Amino acid sequence: MSTATEGLLPAVVASAASGDEVAFARIVNAHHDDMTRVAYVVCGDVDLAQDAVQAAWAIAWRKLHTLRDPALLRPWLASVAANEARQLIRRRHRRGVVEIAVQPWMADAPITDPGAGARERNLDLINAISQLPPADRTIVAMRFALGLTSAEIGQATGLSAPGVRSRLARALVRLKKDLGDV
């Protein structure tokens, strides 16, 4: 959990919502990495994730005034980034372009690299998550990559907290199985 994230005052959010670019830049500074993580976990592609976050910031600027509770800024931004990532995946599928991403750590890694095991695990994890339904990817990213609570995720995604928990439980079972962690 980022301290910068938690430290943003509601006044900063209100100021940004009313069109203050400097205040908005502070929000960007605090949340950009989180949004990139969420977008990456949802789409599994570094470039797509960057594009998604770029688009998500533009949406956040326009719609920040609709956020009623500044305390929910982080989950709200995460859900915006996740939605953009999902839309980009959909558009890419619609265009019929299928790219097989070669992860940089795999491409550059010599076979005898001592970190190869961890990198393989990373790749397995991202692959396993990509097998989940998009909505589940979003809440897995929000819960585990960002450490948000079920209630926060629920409020940002329109699900109930128990609904989020049951989806998470189901996703975990599947991830464990896919990763051989049973």
Partner 1 sequence: MSDRPLEPMTDYEIKLGRELRAASEHALRSFDATVIARSAAGAAMHHRWAGLLERVRPSRLLVAILLALAVLGATLAIGSGLIDRAPTYRLGHLAYELDGDVWIADADGSHAVKIADGVPDGKMFGAPTWSQDGSTLSVSAYDPALEGGLLGPSVFYQADRDGRRVAADGPVHRPGHCKLPRRRHRGADAVLQPAAKDVDRAMIW
Return residues touching partner 1 (CB under 8 A).
1, 3, 6-7, 19, 21-22, 24-26, 28-29, 32-33, 36-37, 39-41, 46, 49-50, 54, 57-58, 60-62, 71, 103-105, 118, 121-123, 125-126, 129, 140-141, 143-145, 147, 149-152, 172, 175-176, 181
Return the structure tokens found at 114.
Answer: 């001592």
User: Any idea what the Cα angle at residue 131 is, between residues 130 and 132, rounded to 5°?
Assistant: 90
Burial class of 110 by CB neighbour count within 10 A (0 to 12, 13 to 18, 19+): exposed
CA distance 39 to 41: 6
Residue 59 or 135 with smaller CB distance to partner 1: 59
Return the CA Rg of the chain: 17
CB of 74 to partner 1, least distance (A): 9
Residue 62 or 94 with smaller CB distance to partner 1: 62
CB of 144 to partner 1, least distance (A): 4
122 to 25, 127, 181: CA distances (angstroms): 31, 9, 14
Return the structure tokens found at 80.
Answer: 């915006």
CB of 9 to partner 1, least distance (A): 10
CB of 19 to partner 1, least distance (A): 8
Residue 125 or 159 with smaller CB distance to partner 1: 125
